């Protein structure tokens, strides 16, 4: 390991739920779990991807991987050797991926935090507390991309979390190899424990093959921490003093055309992370700047639901797992269209953002940790004054007590109202009962339940929400039942609610056979589900939809897929008041019944040229509409990619015709895993705004980052559609430097 890497580092990972716990708090691993020792070394390791030093040659492998798919339980078609080493500062993981066709290896990307779903890759899980619910995640591909994240609730993930670690890869005529170096200072773990949960998976994309060391069952996903094996011989490791200091300097220039004005602002800031004990972590920030954050993807709302935009700011994402609540914000399985009926008691985008405008974050403090089987987190953020709102404090407290192997019971409380002077609080609790050993000892079953109540000044009564869901998410059969109620005045000021005054009933299922070599199909999907929304005040049905099984939904071993061919969905909508669906088009109150037919095909994402085409047609409200979604992506791996997306709706209704159009272009260039250039251009005809964001990220050293972001907007002239007038222009720069003790 180079001295440069030893002396530098990024802040200690904000794994709040992985903070240290007493030795006896971890769940005992199931009998028959796979186990492997970590070899202790004193010889220095040079992280270069070669694995040619004596410690690597002498260390034993952890054992053979097992195919999860396509041929479950069989030996992998290609050999994979995994070895584990450690010294006083680092856990080293060396992987040699043999491949009889090295020219067929797929490595399309190497940017930091790249999505590796279409790549050959190595994935690693570290359950440092052996609680079988929470873990650290690391991954790379043959191009050396650094990807990390946090796993929580035995299957959910936060892939926007970053920490300091290093990986180097090397391609040879026998395949490729990867060498990971993960500092113990980048992990939270209990003092005195010698065994951690561990799992590793290898994906060979051209064969659609996945092999795992532990838990290679079709019913389980790699993010299910309960399926991990364990690694031993880790006694005596430490985190050092446990202090990370990250000062930064940020500046921003904004030029506004109407009214003509420009301004330059800049200020220093500081992030501080301290582990006073293995069980406790303190995170603090001052003068926080989010100038490096990627712009939101455009959306046009053609429904009566509130639009949901995900959190992208690093400070709030770092500890997201401990504050996550029930499954009320989790995306639905692919075969079940989302209800867009989210109920989230704490949604961090409420802090520092108000109606699309930034509000300065003056100071923030987090206290997170673990005591026995109980995870906890407290967040307090002070925002400064902005037009229309004064200084404000937002406080969130969360406690989760782990039950059995994969379950928990929790409570949450929030206080604060970023949008105004009136006070607001929300309190509630949630329960998760889960197992991956149901029926024959190999099936998943999950029950979630929650109850919430908001208290807003001047409002009393009808201010609660509760619900329950039962899921059977398995490979051959998937089932779901959800019941959820949101009262009319339920308003969590620090949360997000999709709709109110409604009760949701949702039932669905899917049958997913894997035919034996029939037409080279890997898996077929046949699903059916029903959603019904009922008003609480009158008891009348407001809407329902029924998705009938698709005649064809086939995924091939090549990675190509026919997702739908004339897949029907029957809709019923009742409007109790006029609904303005588009400018100049308002639907009158009444009942509407219509059937939509969905078609979608996609080529394998691993290909240099990848294409996805979708077309939904048929009746729509009082008339007809065509919805067309396309994506075309071309790559020169692993450096360059360009993509073009369209999402368009052409409606012809009795009340008028309209077109809703979103166009998106992305052009990305990655010089190395540490230097990337990204460009995002978006246009939608609802706002008539054309926007361009160009973003540069340079990782000079682990923990030392430079961001440069340029944004330009244009407004389309309504009288001359081809003419665009320049609008707001923005330039942001941020330099952050990390010192670790």
Closest to 480 (Cα-Cα) out of 594, 339, 597, 304? 339
* Cβ count within 10 A of residue 718: 8
DSSP 10-61: PPPP--GGGS---GGGSPPPPTT--EEEPEE--S----SS---SHHHHHSPB
| pLDDT surpasses 80 at 700 | yes
Quote the longest CA-to-CA distance of the chain: 78
Q: Which two tokens stand for residue 357?
A: 């405008």
- Residue 440's pLDDT is 80
Q: How confident is the model at residue 158 (pLDDT cuts 50, 70, 90)?
A: confident
Q: Which two tokens stand for residue 187?
A: 């992990």
539 contact partners, CB below 8 Å, separation of at least 6: none
Do residues 444 and 470 lie in contact, with contact meaning Cβ atoms separated by under 8 Å? no
Do residues 626 and 620 lie in contact, with contact meaning Cβ atoms separated by under 8 Å? no
Q: Which two tokens stand for residue 197?
A: 């949960």
Do residues 427 and 412 lie in contact, with contact meaning Cβ atoms separated by under 8 Å? yes
| pLDDT surpasses 70 at 29 | no
CA pair distance 436, 261, nearest whole angstrom? 60
Q: Which two tokens stand for residue 508?
A: 């669905």
**Side-chain half-sphere CA neighbours of 554 within 13 A:** 13
CA pair distance 212, 298, nearest whole angstrom? 38
Query: What is the rounded average pLDDT of the residues 162-189?
Result: 93
For the chain, give every domain's residue range.
3-232, 279-290+304-511
Structure letter (DSSP) for residue 180: E
For the segment 289-314, what is each residue's pLDDT rounded down to a tens digit?
776 677 778 888 888 877 777 777 77
Closest to 320 (Cα-Cα) out of 278, 277, 285, 366? 366
The rounded mean pLDDT for the chain is: 87
Phi, psi of 615 (to 5 degrees): -145, 120
* Cβ count within 10 A of residue 722: 6
DSSP H/E element including 678:
strand 675-684
The residue with tokens 């066709």 is: 101
CA pair distance 458, 267, nearest whole angstrom? 39
SS3 261: strand
- Residue 550's pLDDT is 76
Q: Which two tokens stand for residue 365?
A: 């403090």
CA pair distance 435, 475, nearest whole angstrom? 15
Q: How confident is the model at residue 39 (pLDDT cuts 50, 70, 90)?
A: very high
β-pair partners for 662: 647, 684
558 contact partners, CB below 8 Å, separation of at least 6: 208, 520, 604
Q: Which two tokens stand for residue 550?
A: 């698709």
Do residues 707 and 694 lie in contact, with contact meaning Cβ atoms separated by under 8 Å? no
Vertex 207: Cα angle to 215 and 337 (nearest 5): 70
pTM of the model: 0.86
- Residue 22's pLDDT is 33
SS3 688: coil
CA pair distance 540, 533, nearest whole angstrom? 9
3-232 CATH fold: Immunoglobulin-like (2.60.40)
- Residue 291's pLDDT is 65
The residue with tokens 């500081």 is: 270
Structure letter (DSSP) for residue 420: S
Query: What is the rounded average pLDDT of the residues 238-242?
Result: 82
Number of H helices and number of E strands within the chain? 4, 47
SS3 226: helix
State the Rg of the chain over Cα.
26
* CA 487 and chain centroid, separation: 29
DSSP H/E element including 98:
strand 90-98
For the segment 590-619, what is each residue's pLDDT rounded down to a tens digit?
999 999 999 999 999 889 999 999 999 999
Query: What is the rounded average pLDDT of the residues 648-669?
Result: 96
* Cβ count within 10 A of residue 587: 20
Q: How confident is the model at residue 4 (pLDDT cuts 50, 70, 90)?
A: very low
């Amino acid at each position: 390991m180079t001295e440069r890497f030893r002396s530098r580092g990024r802040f200690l990972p904000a794994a709040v739920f992985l903070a240290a716990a007493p030795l006896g708090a971890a769940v005992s691993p199931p009998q028959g779990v796979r186990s492997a020792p970590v070899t202790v070394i004193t010889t220095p390791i040079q992280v270069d991807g070669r694995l040619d030093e004596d410690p690597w040659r002498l260390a034993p492998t952890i054992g053979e991987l097992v195919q999860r798919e396509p041929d479950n339980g069989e030996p992998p078609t290609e050999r994979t050797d995994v070895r584990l080493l450690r010294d006083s500062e680092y856990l080293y993981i060396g992987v040699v991926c043999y491949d009889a066709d090295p020219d067929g290896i797929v490595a399309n990307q190497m940017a930091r935090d790249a999505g590796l779903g279409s790549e050959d890759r190595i994935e690693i899980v570290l359950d440092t507390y052996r609680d079988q619910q929470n873990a650290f995640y690391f991954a790379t591909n043959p191009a050396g991309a650094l990807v990390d994240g946090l796993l929580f609730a035995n299957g959910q993930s936060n892939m926007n979390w970053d920490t300091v670690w290093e990986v180097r890869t090397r391609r040879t005529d026998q395949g490729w190899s990867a060498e990971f170096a993960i500092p113990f200072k980048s992990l939270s773990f209990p003092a005195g424990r010698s065994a951690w949960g561990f799992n590793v998976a290898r994906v060979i994309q051209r064969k659609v093959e996945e092999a795992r060391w532990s838990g290679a069952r079709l019913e389980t996903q790699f993010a299910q921490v309960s399926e991990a094996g364990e690694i031993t011989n880790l006694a005596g490791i430490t985190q050092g003093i446990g202090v990370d200091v990250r000062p930064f300097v940020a500046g921003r220039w904004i030029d506004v055309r109407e009214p003509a004005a420009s301004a330059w602002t800049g200020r220093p800031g500081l992030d501080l992370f301290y582990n006073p004990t293995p069980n406790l972590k303190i995170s603090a920030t001052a003068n926080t700047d989010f100038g490096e954050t990627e712009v939101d993807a455009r959306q046009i709302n053609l429904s009566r639901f509130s639009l949901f935009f995900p959190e992208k700011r690093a400070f709030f994402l770092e500890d997201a797992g401990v504050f996550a609540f029930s499954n009320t914000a989790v995306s639905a399985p692919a075969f079940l269209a989302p209800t867009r009926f989210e109920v989230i008691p704490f949604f961090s985008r409420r802090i520092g953002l108000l109606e699309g405008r930034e509000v300065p974050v003056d100071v923030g403090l987090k206290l997170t940790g673990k005591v026995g089987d109980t995870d906890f987190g407290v967040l307090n953020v002070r925002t400064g004054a902005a037009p229309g709102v004064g200084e404000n404090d937002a406080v969130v407290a969360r406690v989760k007590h782990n039950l059995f192997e994969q379950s928990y019971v929790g409570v949450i409380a929030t206080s604060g109202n970023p949008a105004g002077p009136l006070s607001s609080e929300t309190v509630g609790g949630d329960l998760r009962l889960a197992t991956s050993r149901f029926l024959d000892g190999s099936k998943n079953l999950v029950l979630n339940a929650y109850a919430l109540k908001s208290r807003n000044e001047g409002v009393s009564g009808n201010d609660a929400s509760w619900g329950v869901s039962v899921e059977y998410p398995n490979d051959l059969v998937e089932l779901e039942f959800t019941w959820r109620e949101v009262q009319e005045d339920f308003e969590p000021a620090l949360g997000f609610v999709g709709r109110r005054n409604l009760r949701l009933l949702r039932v669905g299922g899917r049958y997913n056979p894997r035919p034996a070599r029939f037409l080279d199909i890997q898996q077929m999907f046949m699903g059916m589900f029903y959603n019904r929304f009922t008003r609480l005040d009158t008891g009348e049905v407001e809407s329902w939809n029924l998705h009938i099984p698709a005649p064809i939904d086939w995924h091939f071993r090549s990675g190509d897929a026919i997702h739908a061919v004339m897949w029907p969905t029957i809709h019923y909508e009742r409007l109790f008041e006029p609904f303005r669906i588009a400018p100049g088009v308002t639907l009158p109150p009444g009942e509407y019944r219509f059937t939509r037919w969905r078609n979608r095909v996609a080529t394998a994402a691993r290909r240099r040229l990848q294409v996805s085409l979708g077309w939904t047609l048929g009746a729509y409200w009082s008339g007809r509409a065509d919805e067309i979604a396309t994506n075309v992506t071309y790559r020169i791996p692993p450096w360059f990619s360009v993509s073009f997306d369209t999402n368009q709706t052409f409606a012809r209704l009795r009340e008028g015709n309209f077109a809703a159009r979103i166009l998106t272009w992305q052009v990305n260039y990655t010089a190395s895993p540490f230097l990337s250039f990204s460009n995002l251009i978006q246009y939608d005809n609802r706002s008539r705004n054309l926007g361009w964001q160009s973003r540069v990220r340079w990782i000079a050293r682990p923990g030392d980052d430079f961001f440069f972001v340029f944004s330009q907007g244009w407004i389309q002239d309504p009288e001359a559609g081809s003419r665009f007038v320049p609008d707001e222009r923005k330039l942001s720069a941020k330099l952050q430097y990390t010192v670790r003790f």
